[in-house]
Amino acid sequence: MFRAIKLEKDGDATKAAITEVDEADLPEGDVTVRVGYSTLNYKDGLAITGSGPVVRKWPMVPGVDFSGVVEQSDNPAFKVGDKVVLNGWGVGEGHWGGLAELARVKGDWLVPLHAPFTLRDAMIIGTAGYTAMLCVMALEDYGITPDKGDVLVTGAAGGVGSIAVAILSKLGYRVVAMTGRPEEAEFLKDLGAAEVIGRGGYSEQGRPLAKERWAAAVDVVGGHVLANVCASLKYRGAVAACGLAGGMALPATVAPFILRGVALLGVDSVMLPQADRIKAWKRMSTDLDPRLLDKLVDTVAFEDVIEAAGRLMNGTQRGRVVVPINTDLE
């Protein structure tokens, strides 16, 4: 038996509770992992609170990522004792996730833990940090270099945004952090933001074209914010879009795309091939200052995750939320 946060469908509502689960009930997979740490991401908040249609199969154990140690393996790529990380692949949505003491998954979904990161470090980074790195890589691949001008990061005080600020700053970009929480300005400047701004008119319907301001952007918000970011990109600028915290709609026009040649770069972290995942994790081992990790994290006990999910959805949670589960695995 092991402990897990289990989500059950209760009419139109979601019922979340910590419960004892029989190991025999674990889903199919060729690798069983003793979970060291998991996290609380935006998707987990949606799933636990029932605020969004994240869960596709009931009952469900949430937790879109985890780090831990292989306890049993029928996959030749992994052996007992290997330290591993999982991000995405529909875990916590259609396959039981990491907010549990044990997880069973396909070995093809796992990535070896990369030095110098510990199991805890890997979850401070987590899916949010891994996604932030993918956004930075997408901008680089498009040709955005530090000499092009300011790079905007929206939702900067959240998990993806805060790590994007830290990575871009370390790489030499001048980063402008946008947040609806002005009290987080010092936190963001500590991560490397040169300037912190509010949402201003970005969260409302804007003009088809605005004054050229940003060489590039990382956007986690979507909706009006993304539309206004596109409208204010410099000629041949680009935005890497990876989130929809502000809505799934994109109330934009084609004007910035056909008059300024800007690019909207979609970034997916869920189904990305393993080779690209490994590349992103290797990049983070050099491009994310490990001294900043403790500034990014809020630790929440396993017993308090359900309550913390509510805070996450209220927009009052800063940075990354790490959930220690079996800390003796380090």
Kindly report the CATH number assigned to the domain that includes residue 99.
3.90.180.10
Residue 247 has a pLDDT of 86
Q: Enumerate residues 6+ apart whose C-beta is below 8 A from 228.
A: 201, 202, 206, 210
Q: 262 with 276, same domain?
A: no
Q: 80 with 166, same domain?
A: no
Q: 246 with 163, same domain?
A: yes
Domain span at 178: 144-266
Task: Write the CATH number for 211.
Answer: 3.40.50.720
Of 225, 251, 266, the residue that ends a domain is 266
Positive or negative: CA dihedral 246, 250, 253, 259:
positive
Q: 205 with 255, same domain?
A: yes
Q: 286 with 321, same domain?
A: yes
Measured N-to-C along each axis, helices 274-287 and 159-170 cross at an angle, to the nearest 10 degrees, of 60
Q: Are 22 and 91 in contact (CB under 8 A)?
A: no
Residue 140 has a pLDDT of 98
- As a whole-number percent, the residues of the chain with pLDDT over 70 amount to 100
The verdict on residue 317 lying in a domain is yes
Total domains, the chain: 2
Q: 67 with 33, same domain?
A: yes
Residue 254: phi, psi to the nearest 5?
Answer: -80, -5
Give per-residue pLDDT as tens, 26-58: 999 999 999 999 999 889 999 999 998 999 999
Q: 232 with 278, same domain?
A: no
The mean per-residue pLDDT over the stretch 219-240 comes to 97
Q: Are 66 and 153 in contact (CB under 8 A)?
A: no
Give per-residue pLDDT as tens, 257-308: 999 999 999 999 999 998 999 999 999 999 998 888 888 889 999 999 999 9
Give per-residue pLDDT as tens, 149-187: 999 999 999 889 999 999 999 999 999 999 999 999 999
Q: Is the pTM of this model over 0.85?
A: yes
Residue 211 has a pLDDT of 96
Q: 204 with 293, same domain?
A: no
The mean per-residue pLDDT over the stretch 51-75 comes to 96
